[in-house]
Each structure stands twice: as structure tokens, then as C-alpha cells.
A and B are shown apart, each in its own frame.
Chain A
């Protein structure tokens, strides 16, 4: 039996609930319409909003064995299949298909040309370890594949001091410095890396420094062990040793980032990493530089404070395994051409006694000091593979690759040579070899990806017409494509378009009032490929607000 009071309460509750449900439904509808809108007032966005302050960020470690097994066996099945059956466009892009500045990425050389000096400066070149004061060893670097120390110079700046493999001087240190400059110019956050020369007397051992012996036991680091390590290093003519000093990143280091998923404790990390163009496009950059070891261990998240606000900044680190270097020795020739675990290729070669000799096995590699195994002849940008499959790389689509390829193509020969110079290779022929390879690999990348979609870019409205650049032609990779243009009006709210008959030139159609127009660019030579360019007119101003590509 229900009392009157209870009945009234129940009725009132029901009415409230119904009202809320209606409000919710309206909200849902409005929200759905919001999602239907293609362009917002602030599109195209060139900078993500300031990150929200974070707290309680955990330090993250990654286990090498897990990372290798997961990458080799789980990633190809998961992201490999997803890329084939349910491809997902990148989510960190603006409506032009570019990546806004964020804690992951900053638009640099390809968008705001850097001078030679800026390219050589990279993330910084003004705070190397003070050569006139002692360097205190405060820790021994026992992770990674090259031995080293953590040092503090006279200004209490901290650096990781890493050495080249004794049999291959200059190999890793040069690669590490060159990599930090190029990846910085490409838009990533990288550490300041310096080639340093020092004398033994400059190193001082702080108290209580421990070293993890290969047996697993931690033992005190002694002056004699420092001597032993240096004894294996070649001494330069002036009695100094060469090493790489990588400046400690500013902020609190919280460990590597994953190329898949998002951190559950970071409110700013809202996009799955495998759906970030900055990480997908890294596949093209890695192919260019032969950065085969794109495992998590070579990334680093740092908690930084800006304007009193803490947030996570994402870095690429440790480039000692790029170009011809494998970190502790020259690369093996298969690197870049197949994954570490490659069952099908293995079976095929096993049963054919290795009679088929692929191109990379026939390449003529340089034997110059500091080069390692690096070439352009055997390089195929569409077939390049990291050592372990990378989830973001597998999810890369042609738009991601094009975004990256045009950045690679933006470097001139002179700029590449200038950045290679920062590796301070003692043999100029070695620097020339590396630069030549990078130039040829750049051209192959530009050629390969600009053929996969219409390489039209840098759209602008000028003199009453739509203008663009044919990047393939600009880079000398072919003749300018014949482009046909169709025009349509575009309803931003409904995302529908209506073709304007008779408008078949690059000249803007008559635009009455404010609104959106769409130009469809096609080439009879590439029937499946097109580019849609969206123009918003507000008052007298017509602005490019969107670019979509199909292939």
C-alpha cells in the first residue's frame, strides 16, 4: 500500500526525471548537431589550448622484454588489422590536415623556415658542459646499450655523458647529435646534445656512486673503473677523449610514453597515441633517418612547469641508433628492411637456401669512420620497417605520410649538410656520405608519397583565385599535374555541398554574403585522387579553412 505522501513524492520525482530526460535528449540532439558541424569559428586551429594543470602523475617504467614481445607479436595483429579493416584518420590535426602546436609537437622548419644557424642550434647549443671546470660523476648509466655517466658541470647543469663503441669511434655520438637537430627541426622536443672533448683529469667522482655490474650486483664505481672505461676509448691527438653530452631535460622525468593508448592519469592526453599524426608521421621521419629503434625506451615524458601550471611534455630521446649506427656497433644490413621477427621472410629464405639476394644485401656500404651501415641505394620508403612494429606507424595512412613527407622534402641540400656538420665527424668524406644519403633518401620519400595522393599544398586565396603549389613539381620530381577544378557551395551545419554549374577554373566563384565554398581539385592523370579545399568568406575576407584529401 502506498501512502499519499509517498505517492506525491514519487510523482514529483517522476516529473523531474522526465524533465531531465527531455533536457538530456535535447542536449544530446544539440550535441549531435555540434559534431555535425565541420568548421568552427577558430578553425583552422594552429595551437592547442593551454594544457590543464596536472597532478598525481606516476613515474612510468617500461620493461624491454615486454615491449619487444608486445610489439612483435601483439601489435601487428591489433594495429595491423585495425589499419586494414578499420582505418582511423589522425585525430590531432586541424582542419587543414596540419598538426597544431602542442606539448607533443611544434611547427618548425617546414612551416616557418629556420635559418642555417637555427637548424644547427636545434634545441639549444649554448649550454654545453663547462670545459673549464671539473665534471662530477654523480651516477653511472647502466641502462641502454652504451656505457656512460651522469655528470654535473661547474654550473650544476646535469648531462648524460655517453661514449662511442671503442671499435667504432664517432659512430654513435655523431648520430645522436645529428638526430637531435633534425628531429627538433621536424617539430619534436629533443634534448640538447653536444659533442664534447675532455681530459681524464676533468672527471671527478662524487661520493657513493654505484654501478650495476653485468652480474646484476650493484658495486661502487671507482676511479679505476673510470680509467678502465676511458682506456678503451681512443685518445685524440691532443690527449682528450670524445663523447656525447646530452643535457638533462628540464622538469621532472616521469618515464617514456607508449605509442599506443593514452595515459590514464593525464587529463590532457585525450587522443590515443596511435591516432596522433605526430607519432604516425614519425614512421616517415624514422625511415629517412633509419631510426630503427623506435621503442618506448627512446621517448621521455617530463613534467614541466610553465606560468605556474604543471603539464606533461613529450620528448624523443637517444638518437644513437639512427643513420648507420646501432648504438654499440654499426647497423646490420637487414635493419630498416624487415622487422626483427619476420616469419614469412624467414621461411621463404630458409627453403630457398638464400638464393634470392635482395637489394639491401647487395648494397655497397661505406667503410668510412663514423658512418656505419647507411645507404640510399637500397632504401625503399614504402617498405621501410622499424626493428619492432610500432602501433602508431602501422596506423599511418597516406595523409599522415604526406604530412611527414612534405616536411622531409622541405630541407634543402645545404640545410641537410649543415645539420650533418653538427656531428663533428673528423673525416669530411664521412659527413659527405651521410649527407648525400640523406639527400637521396629525402628525394625517394618525396617521390614515393607524393605519388600516393595529389601533392597539392600551401593553398591560398589571392587575386580572386585559388592558388596552390604542386610539391612534386616543386621538388623536381615530375611535371606539374594538370588539375581540374569544380566548385560547390558548402553547408557547414549539415556538411552538404551543392555544385555550382559552369565554375571550372581556379578563379573563385561569385560569393554572395558570408558562407562556405568548396573547390574539388582533380587530375585526369590520377583519377582516384582528389583534394577538397574549403573557403570561408566573412565580409570581404575569404580564407582557406579546410583541406581534405582522398586517394
Chain B
């Protein structure tokens, strides 16, 4: 076929098509069919948008799955081991076994300031038809820069020192659920502690700043048997970000110094939280109070590294982490939080508390106090995924970042 004939055939075909379309387009039906016919000539395979492909690829990547703990139980932990100890990273592994009757958790982390730690925990959350539970855990920490400002409420902010805290704890906590919300249990553990020179170059080492009188147990450390019990009543609507209900707990632990015979003591921790919702739970007043009391027998002391402390993201948010050490402590927090959007809550808070030497000083006089505000970014389950608290006190301000740690 010559080129001119080919062109003629093409031209005729186009004319026929046009004429056919013209003849067809006498009805709405024809118009619709014509559009379909036209599309039929342009069909292409379905391809997801590029942005979706990138997101899917990212979600299937190993780093993403490690961060979200979806890599067959393996994951990566990010954050710091204790506030101010520097950025820490490490692997973690979680494995539910025997149809989730037993949960195994192993994690380890290391921080840029030469702190490191590891933990193994075996949890039996439901034994004997959900009536009982037990947790066995063993943990080792080596924290290179634990802050210490001296003993008691009159310690100075400028007196900051730092020490290395090394401890190993092997613990068993069996318990029983008496009825819905009420549980009680026993605590038995072996705790080995060692302290040493602090790693920080900004702050003096505790050993150089304080003697054993101002920091009991600084000169020699020991190992402990710990035994005690706990009771808790929890009727909060949800554990991670409650809006109503309350939780009240008491824990009593006896520390027995098995090496030196000088640091045996008793510790009682009392804690109460109450949540009062308003306006369909879009406003919540959260009230919290806690007190830790210790007592040591004749000639015995409570070592400074096991004393109750105040200051930090869970206690006095306008003060530095572990700003106050003392044999006893009492603390109250009040918070008003309000709904800003499904992805954001805000809160204003006030904290007050003190450490003290003797039980008769248990009162609300001469409290250290702070005020502040909190920004909480929520995930789809309406719980904070990320929280920023800013606290102001007469010692300045502190900013606390937290990931999934709201209580």
C-alpha cells in the first residue's frame, strides 16, 4: 500500500468515526457510551500515587518497623535513661509466649555520656483465671551523671554535684486481684548498689563535694534484701490518660543491709490520684498527692541514693531532676487540662512539695512550689504521644519532653 493510500484509508477511518459519533450523539445514552468508548482507548494500569508508594515503602522498611516494634518483636528504644543523662538508644525485644500468658521483654540502652543499662522482665499477666499475676525482672543500670545537691530542703541549686550510680536488681512481684480495681501483692528482691565518681566535667563529683555526713552511704555501698508488699485500688477510666476515676496505692518495703549492717531501713510510699471530668471530659481537673516516708533503726541510715527525691518531670516540674534529697517527702500536684483539638490538649499545673528529716515535719508548710503549662500531642487513640511540660519556679524554668509516659 502506497503512502497516499495509507493516508486515504486513515482519513476515511477518521471520517467514519466522526460520522458515527455524530450519528450516535443523538441521545444522552450515546453521549455516555461515547465517553466510555473514548476512555476505553486510554486505559492505563492503576498505579498508586508516588507519595503513597513512598509511605508504604517507609512503613515496610526495617528502621520504621524497629521504631514501631513491628519487626517480629524487635525494636529500638530512644530517649534518656534518667532525665539529664543524655540521649540513649538501644535494642528491645518483646515476645508474647504461650498465647500471651507469658510476656518476655528484654531491652538495653546506652547513652552518649557513657551510661548504659539492661533489663529482662518476664510477666505473667493472667494466672488462674485472671485472678493472679506475677512479674520477674532483673535490671542493671550504670548511670554516669546522677545529680546530687546535698541533703534536705535547704540544699543549694549551685551546689550540684554528680556521681555514678551502678545498681543491679533482681525482683519478683506476685500479686492477686481481689476484685475489679483492687489488687495486692508481695515484693521480694535483691539489690546491689555501687556509687562512684561522676562523669560530668561541668559539675564536681559528689565525693569531692560532700562527705558521708552530707551524703550517707557515699563512702561505702552495700547490697540489700528487699521485702514488702503493696495494695492498690484503681478505678480510672483508662490507665494511660485518665479523665475520670482515681488510683490510690500504698507500698511498704523493708531494706535489709546484708553486708555492712548500717543501712537497713523501712520505706512507705503513698500515692493518690483523682481525676474530675467536666463538659463531656473535655476539661479535666487532675489532683495528685504522694508521700514517701522512711525510718531507720538505731544506728542505721538511709543511704542518699535510696532516699526519696523531688524535682523532675513527675514531681516538681519547675526544678531540676532530683533537685531535693531527703529521708521523707511529700508532694501535691494540681492540673487543669483542656481539649484544644483531637490531636492536642493543653494543661496548666502547679506543683508543691518538700523533703524533710523527721516524720513530725509532715505538713504543708515551707513547700517548694512551681507552676507551668503543658502541651500534649495526641495520637489516634486520644492519648498523648508526645508531651512538653514547662515548669517555672524561683530557681528558673525547666522543659520536660516525654513520649507515651502520661500517668
Contacts and interface: CB of A to CB of B under 8 A. Distances in A.
B360 interface: no
A341 interface: yes
Interface string A326-363: 00000011100010111101110110011001001111
A333 B343 contact: no
A20 B11 contact: yes
B26 interface: yes
A43 B26 CA distance: 11
A437 to B, nearest CB: 16
B36 A268 contact: yes
A63 B55 contact: yes
A153 B268 CA distance: 59
Nearest to A28: B18
Given A23-B15, A264-B43, A267-B36, A353 B348 contact: yes
Interface in B65-81: 65, 69-73
B4 A9 contact: yes
A41 to B, nearest CB: 5
Contacts of A51: 36
A363 B27 contact: no
Contacts of B37: 52, 267
Given A40-B27, A66-B52, A215-B70, A353 B338 contact: yes
Nearest to B19: A27
Interface stretch (B112-120, B187-195, B274-282, B387-395): B274-282
* Interface core residue of A9, A43, A228, A361 (most chain B CB under 10 Å): A361
Interface string B362-386: 0000000000000000001010000
Contacts of B51: 66, 69-70
Contacts of B22: 27, 30-31, 34
A61 B56 CA distance: 11
A213 B96 contact: yes
A426 interface: no
B344 A350 contact: yes
Interface string B40-84: 100111111101100110010000010001111100000000000
B11 A354 contact: no
B404 interface: no
Interface string A259-299: 00001111111100000000000000000000000000000
A494 interface: no
Nearest to A70: B51
B341 A361 contact: no
Contacts of A43: 28
Interface in B165-185: none
A270 B341 contact: no
B341 A349 contact: yes
Contact of A215 (B10, B28, B72): B72
Interface stretch (A216-224, A391-399, A462-470, A506-514): A216-224
Say what secondary structure dominates the interface of chain B: mixed
Contact of A16 (B4, B46, B281, B344): B4
A42 B27 CA distance: 6
A363 B280 contact: yes
A13 B3 contact: yes
B76 to A, nearest CB: 14
B340 interface: yes
* Interface core residue of B10, B45, B46, B344 (most chain A CB under 10 Å): B46
Interface in A41-93: 41-43, 45, 48-49, 51-52, 56, 58, 60-63, 65-66, 69-70
A39 to B, nearest CB: 9
A53 to B, nearest CB: 10
Given A20-B15, A34-B25, A346 B96 contact: no
A270 B44 CA distance: 13
Contacts of A9: 2-4
B46 A60 contact: yes
Interface string A1-44: 00000000100110011011001100100110010000011110
A342 B342 contact: yes
Contacts of A66: 49, 51-52, 55-56
A248 interface: no
B33 interface: yes
B340 A19 contact: no
B7 A354 contact: no
B21 interface: yes
A63 B56 contact: yes
A269 B342 CA distance: 36
A228 B98 CA distance: 12
Nearest to B55: A66
A22 to B, nearest CB: 10
A58 B45 contact: yes
What interface size band does chain B fall in? 35 or more
B31 interface: yes
Contacts of A341: 341-343
A314 B107 CA distance: 48
B21 to A, nearest CB: 7
A338 B94 contact: no
Contact of B45 (A20, A94, A264, A350): A264
A13 B4 contact: yes
Contacts of A216: 65, 69-72
B259 interface: no
B4 A361 contact: no
B29 A354 contact: no
Given A31-B25, A346-B340, A365-B280, A270 B46 contact: no
B306 interface: no
Given A66-B51, A270-B36, A49 B29 contact: yes
A393 to B, nearest CB: 18
Contact of A31 (B21, B99, B336): B21
A225 interface: yes
A45 B343 CA distance: 46
Given A34-B25, A270-B36, A16 B382 contact: no
Given A16-B7, A23-B14, A66-B56, A350 B346 contact: yes
* Interface core residue of B14, B29, B340 (most chain A CB under 10 Å): B340
* Interface core residue of A34, A58, A341 (most chain B CB under 10 Å): A34
A51 B38 CA distance: 14
Contacts of B340: 345-347, 349-350, 354
B283 interface: yes
A51 B43 CA distance: 15
Nearest to B58: A65
B43 A346 contact: no
A387 B342 CA distance: 10
* Interface core residue of B31, B35, B48, B342 (most chain A CB under 10 Å): B342
Contacts of A20: 10-11, 14-15
B32 interface: yes
A231 B55 CA distance: 37
Given A215-B73, A224-B99, A338 B342 contact: yes
A244 B181 CA distance: 30
Interface string A206-217: 000000010111
A65 B65 CA distance: 14
Interface in A462-500: none
B39 interface: yes
Interface string B277-304: 0011111000000000000000000000
A41 B4 CA distance: 41
A217 B341 contact: no
A30 B339 CA distance: 61
B403 interface: no
B18 A63 contact: no
15 contacts: A16-B4, A27-B21, A41-B27, A42-B27, A52-B33, A56-B45, A62-B52, A215-B70, A215-B73, A267-B39, A269-B39, A334-B282, A340-B380, A349-B338, A361-B282
Given A9-B4, A30-B22, A267-B36, 15 more contacts: A24-B18, A34-B22, A34-B25, A41-B27, A43-B28, A48-B32, A58-B46, A66-B56, A217-B72, A264-B47, A333-B280, A333-B282, A341-B342, A360-B280, A361-B280
3 shortest A-B CB distances, which residue pairs?
A354-B338, A216-B70, A346-B341
